[in-house]
Amino acid sequence: MFEEPEWAEAAPVAAGLRPVTSRPLPAAASQNNGSKCRQLLATLRILEAASLSQNPPSLPSSDSEEEEVERKKKCPKKASFASASAEVGKKRKKKCQKQGPPCSYSEEEVERKKTCRKQALLGSNSAEEEKRKRKCQKHAPLNPAQHLDDVDQTGPKAWKNSATNDLPKPSPESTSPKPPHTLSRKQWRNRQKNKRRHKNKFRSPEVPDQALAEAPTEKTEMPPVPRTESHEARAGALRARMAQRLDGARFRYLNEQLYSGPSSAAQRLFQEDPEAFLLYHRGFQSQVKKWPLQPVDRIAKDLRQRPASLVVADFGCGDCRLASSIRNPVHCFDLASLDPRVTVCDMAQVPLEDESVDVAVFCLSLMGTNIRDFLEEANRVLKPGGLLKVAEVSSRFEDVRTFLRAVTKLGFKVVSKDLTNSHFFLFDFQKTGPPQVGPKAQLSGLKLQPCLYKRR
């Protein structure tokens, strides 16, 4: 009988099948065959491991094959670093050929690109990848191969996506660096102005002196204006403004006292404080200057058309402007004196004889609560047929007709009236005789509204 060869028993074992023995062997032969089988099995396992590393075996209808297929589906095959780098190198060569002549890289750039590729293939965090990309882009040269560097840094997946899109052709404009945001001419001018303002705002006070020292000798001869003068000027302007406000407040107070009390009380007020009348007159003139036409000028114009021999009595003359404007002899009366021609007295009791004047004038002077006393005094000093001229602020009259009726009861008749002016009314009366009513009779038309000035 012949013995079976060794490969006959080892082949089914290598194929993963159970060996079928037809008959038993003797003890010595079985021991030798067992050691040989073990050696063959060891060699077959080594060969299987080597073959699996290169090409895995594909044996149908086996349990091990099904397990390997499932494992491959769950864990896809990853390309090794060598194969990926080879594919990237081929694609880069193809694109360089399409774009133009091959690009020359220095050794440092090649090493830097290799490190970037390694880090991208290792798959680190997205934040770290972005930082590395920015660093690589900063150090990259400005040439057509810049697009290739960006693609190499993103890995093989980005190569697949970018390969489908056509890269733009290199142009001279693309090589020149462009600013991220260009400013228009107007924006650039505004920015320069803001810079200059910022510098001037925080400039030390010694800067003008330094500028003058650097200037030519002709300019240095001019002494710089000291800053103390500007402070003094500001302080003086502030004091003047505050004094003006104080004077305005005092004028309003005095004006209210003159309209709310009798003339005797006003006379005592100005006798106790002589400066008060000067202050009041100054405030009054500042208010009247704003009017388009002053009533005293209108009265003076009318009197210049009459004979110069007429004697005039000016009740409430102020600064004697009427006496200075006409040639007639004028008696000036007021509560205080601003001119040597003024006679200080109460206008309800003037130092004149009866029927001694031809014209009596009340120009914005029917003040106080005793207006009736003023008009009766004018009737006393006027000659028969004498002229009474009244100019008063238009806002004081509630009803002009009642005022005219009240005046006629005091021995006058209306000659003319002018209500066209927006600031004041003008009336001309002629004396007809003594008052027609007794001293106790009430005349409601003579109660005029006070002329009060508001704070501004």
What does the DSSP 8-state code read for residue 318?
A: T
Where is average pLDDT lowest: 93-107, 266-280, 388-402, 438-452? 93-107
Per-residue pLDDT tens over the stretch 4-27: 444 444 444 444 444 444 444 455
CB 405 within 8 A of CB 445: yes
**Percent residues over pLDDT 90 in the chain:** 31
Residues in the chain: 456
- What does 48-87 look like in DSSP terms, one character per residue? HHHHHHHS----SS-HHHHHHHHHHHHSPPPPPHHHHHHH
Structural tokens at position 52: 């699996």
Q: Which tops the pLDDT comparison, 232 or 203?
A: 232
CB 381 within 8 A of CB 360: yes
> Which pLDDT score, from 0 to 100, does residue 203 have?
63
Q: Give Cα 195 distance to the centre of its chain.
A: 18
Q: Is 336 exposed, middle or buried (0-12, 13-18, 19+ CB in 10 A)?
A: buried
| pLDDT score of 455 more than 80 | no
CB 85 within 8 A of CB 113: no
Pick the closest to residue 451 from 246, 250, 258, 245 (CA basis): 258
Q: Extract long-range pairs of 231-236: CB within 8 Å, 24+ residues apart.
A: none
Confidence of residue 284 (pLDDT cuts 50, 70, 90): confident
- What does 276-315 look like in DSSP terms, one character per residue? HHHHHHHHHHHHHTTSSS-HHHHHHHHHHTS-TT--EEEE
User: What average pLDDT is seen over the chain?
Assistant: 74
> Which pLDDT score, from 0 to 100, does residue 392 have?
94
> Which pLDDT score, from 0 to 100, does residue 90 have?
73
For the chain, the domains span 293-446
- Look up the CATH superfamily of 293-446: Vaccinia Virus protein VP39 (3.40.50.150)
Burial 2-15 (b: 16+ CB within 10 A, else e): eeeeeeebbeeeee
> Which pLDDT score, from 0 to 100, does residue 141 have?
46
Query: Which residues, 6 or more positions from 289, have their beta carbon under 8 angstroms from its beta carbon?
Result: none
> 0.75 exceeded by the pTM?
no
Dihedral sign for Cα atoms in the order 395, 399, 401, 407: negative
Longest dimension (CA), the chain: 190
Confidence of residue 54 (pLDDT cuts 50, 70, 90): low
Query: How far apart are alpha carbons 66 and 58 in whole angstroms?
Result: 10
